[in-house]
Amino acid sequence: GNSVTQMEGPVTLSEEAFLTINCTYTATGYPSLFWYVQYPGEGLQLLLKATKADDKGSNKGFEATYRKETTSFHLEKGSVQVSDSAVYFCAPPKVDQFYFGTGTSLTVIP
């Protein structure tokens, strides 16, 4: 069935390091893809989205490109900050399928 495979954590990085969190999906034809973030003690919030193949979503220094040929939507940030410490979820937004998985926990140390 349709599913998303996300890099397992936890991930620990030093401040200003480069971040990549891998996300691949098995289904084709998603109209868009999303990354959500959950900061400690909070609910999830949308971080960025790409609305079509080859589209790049960006927000708060994070970027992800919807690559149809590799069925990937990897999340990247050039220089992480302590405030980026959170759990990140790659999510397909189909209305009748809801799979957020366990997410990837990121801890950024000063």
Partner 1 sequence: EAGVTQSPTHLIKTRGQQATLRCSPISGHTSVYWYQQALGLGLQFLLWYDEGEERNRGNFPPRFSGRQFPNYSSELNVNALELEDSALYLCASSLAGLAGGRLRGYNEQFFGPGTRLTVL
Residues that bind partner 1 (CB under 8 A): 30-32, 34, 36, 42-46, 49, 89, 93-96, 98-103
User: In the complex with partner 1, which residue's Cβ is closer, 42 or 69?
Assistant: 42
**Residue 40 CB partners (closer than 8 Å, separation 6+):** 85, 86
Q: Minimum distance between the CB of residue 7 and partner 1, rounded to whole angstroms?
A: 13
Distance, CA of 46 to CA of 67 (rounded, Å): 19
User: In the complex with partner 1, which residue's Cβ is closer, 16 or 27?
Assistant: 27
**Residue 46 CB partners (closer than 8 Å, separation 6+):** 34, 35, 36
Q: Minimum distance between the CB of residue 79 and partner 1, rounded to whole angstroms?
A: 26
User: In the complex with partner 1, which residue's Cβ is closer, 98 or 110?
Assistant: 98
Q: Minimum distance between the CB of residue 60 and partner 1, rounded to whole angstroms?
A: 16
Beta bridge partner(s), residue 76:
20, 63
User: In the complex with partner 1, which residue's Cβ is closer, 29 or 110?
Assistant: 29
Distance, CA of 14 to CA of 37 (rounded, Å): 19
